[in-house]
Amino acid sequence: MKEDVAKDPDYDVVIIGGGISGVYTAWRLIMADNINAPFLKGSKDKKLRIALFEGSDRIGGRLLSARAPGFPHMNCEIGGMRYVSSQKLVSALIENELKLPRHEQDVDEPINIVYTRGHRIRSYQLSDPDVLPYNLSDEESEWLKQGNTGSDLIGWAVEKLFPKVKDLSGDDLEKYLQEATLDDIPLYHHGFWNILAKVMSNEAYQLAKTTVGYDSLGMNANAVNSIAEYFNFTPTVKYYLMNDGYDSVPWTLQKQFESAGGEVHLNSWLQAFEEATLADGSTGVELSVKNGKGQSSVTARAIVLAMPKRSMELLQQKGPVLDPVRAPHVRFMMNSVEPVDLYKIFLAYEYPWWEKTFVKAGRSLTDLPLRQCYYWGVEGREPGGDPENKNSMIMAYNDMSNSEFWGGLRDSPLGPGNTIEWPLPGNSKIKNLRAKSKAFERKPMPHAHKDEQDEWGVRLKKNWESHPAPHKMAMEMHRQLMEMHNIPDAPEPLEAAYMDWSDDPYGGAVHFWNSGYKTWEILEEMTRPVEDFPCFICGEAYSTNQTWVEGALQTAEIVLQKHFKLVEPKWLNK
Ligand SMILES: Cc1cc2nc3c(=O)[nH]c(=O)nc-3n(C[C@H](O)[C@H](O)[C@H](O)COP(=O)(O)OP(=O)(O)OC[C@H]3O[C@@H](n4cnc5c(N)ncnc54)[C@H](O)[C@@H]3O)c2cc1C
Q: What pLDDT sits at residue 301? A: 97
* CA 514 to centroid of ligand 1, rounded, Å: 20
Answer whether 19 contacts ligand 1 (Cβ < 6 A): yes
Q: What pLDDT sits at residue 432? A: 45
Type and span of the H or E element at 175? helix 170-179
Answer whether 352 contacts ligand 1 (Cβ < 6 A): no
Domain boundaries, the chain: 3-60+247-338+511-573, 65-87+95-101+342-500, 128-235
Q: What pLDDT sits at residue 423? A: 43
Q: What are phi and psi of 133, to 5 degrees?
A: -80, 50
* CA 510 to centroid of ligand 1, rounded, Å: 8
C-alpha distances in Å from residue 318, one per residue of 134, 269, 488: 53, 16, 57
Which among 337, 371, 549, 557 is the best mutation to test ligand 1's pocket, defined by most ligand atoms within 8 Å of the CB? Answer: 549
Q: Which of 27, 19, 21 is nearest to 256 (CA)?
A: 27
Answer whether 539 contacts ligand 1 (Cβ < 6 A): yes
Answer whether 536 contacts ligand 1 (Cβ < 6 A): no
Q: Name the strands in the sheet holding 102-104, side by side, starting at the edge strand that comes first in the sequence.
A: 82-84, 239-242, 102-104
Answer whether 553 contacts ligand 1 (Cβ < 6 A): no
Which residues, including other chains, have CB under 8 Å from residue 2's CB and lie 6 or more apart? 275, 276, 277, 283
Q: Which fold has domain 3-60+247-338+511-573?
A: FAD/NAD(P)-binding domain (3.50.50)
Which residues, including other chains, have CB under 8 Å from residue 200's CB and lie 6 or more apart? 140, 153, 156, 157, 208
Answer whether 270 contacts ligand 1 (Cβ < 6 A): yes
pLDDT along the chain (574 residues), means of 10: 67 98 98 90 82 96 97 96 95 98 92 97 96 97 94 93 92 95 98 96 95 84 94 82 97 98 97 95 96 93 97 96 97 96 94 98 96 97 95 94 86 50 46 58 84 86 93 95 97 94 91 97 97 97 95 98 96 88
Round to whole Å and give the CA distance between 182 and 155.
17
